[in-house]
Chains A and B, each alone.
Chain A
Amino acid sequence: MYSCKQATELMSLSLDGKLSLYQRVALKMHLFMCKLCSRCWKQMLFVRDASHQCSERAGEIDFMPEHSLSPEACERIKNALKEESPP
């Protein structure tokens, strides 16, 4: 019988597809009986799904909105591009 701590380790491994058949069955039984681990499992799935959404929407989400490329960096990058570009 797994402890709750071990069960959370199995949850994480299962998200990476690394559980044996025995571990899968044991985790399922633990989740069936343990309300707190069952919550934790749903929340781990939520964290994963939110992260996938974050990746898919990378172009739309305002990451670090208070930061910008400095004018100096812009200039430097443009100069590097000019040097790289064929005339």
Chain B
Amino acid sequence: MEKNHTLDPEAWVDQHGDALFRYALFRIQDGQVAEDLVQETFLAAIRGKESFAGRSSVKTWLFGILKHKIIDHIRKISRERPEENIEAVADLAGKDFDDKGGWKYQPSEWTTNPSLLFQQQEFWQILQTCLSELPPRLNQAFTLRELDGLSAEEVRKILDVSPTNGGVMLHRARMRLRECLEIRWFAEEA
């Protein structure tokens, strides 16, 4: 079925436009930018459609292009707004720990079976909520590292920050996400 549509870009928009837009919105949280990224994705796809070998589905191929567009966009805004990097590093310092570096809020025990959890749409909604609640730069650092699979070095270059600040941002993001999932998912479940 899908093969019939591989050379019909207008059908791509009808079939995959919403899914691409939602993913772009999830990553960038700006509707106008998300629309532009989707348009750029389709244009890149049409220019490169000869190289689409059909090894994956059209949807997977389009998502691959969109992910590169998202990374390029983050690289661009990081250069344009360096002040947000400073805010990200300064934000939320030491919230979990007392003056001596001991736990102030103790992590609770999570009992879960990940293979069942990952089947639940509700869990992904909560993860999206937690990611969207991170300060933008922490969100970008974390998603570039763990969703796009870039190295910490690549992430810090895209965000235009020092290795130390890149490490601090990833640490903060991981701690905030851990805490958010604990409150929004695991405490609710218990």
Contact = CB atoms under 8 A, between A and B. Distances in A.
Main secondary structure of the interface of B (DSSP, over half): helix
A3 B13 contact: no
B136 interface: no
Interface in A25-80: 36, 39-40, 42-44, 46-55, 57-59, 61-65, 67-70, 73-74, 76-78, 80
A36 B174 contact: no
Contact of A46 (B9, B10, B101, B110): B110
A52 B22 CA distance: 18
Contacts of B143: 51
Contacts of B110: 39, 42-43, 46
B43 A6 contact: no
B103 to A, nearest CB: 5
Nearest to B62: A59
B22 A74 contact: no
B122 to A, nearest CB: 10
Given A53-B118, A68-B21, 4 more contacts: A46-B110, A59-B19, A63-B23, A73-B21
Interface of B: 9-10, 13-14, 17-23, 25-26, 31, 35, 38-39, 42-43, 46-47, 57, 59-60, 63, 94, 96-97, 100-103, 106-110, 112, 114, 117-118, 121, 123-125, 127-128, 142-143, 145-149, 151-152, 167, 170-171, 174-175, 177-178, 181-182
7 contacts: A16-B151, A17-B152, A18-B152, A46-B114, A50-B118, A63-B25, A78-B13
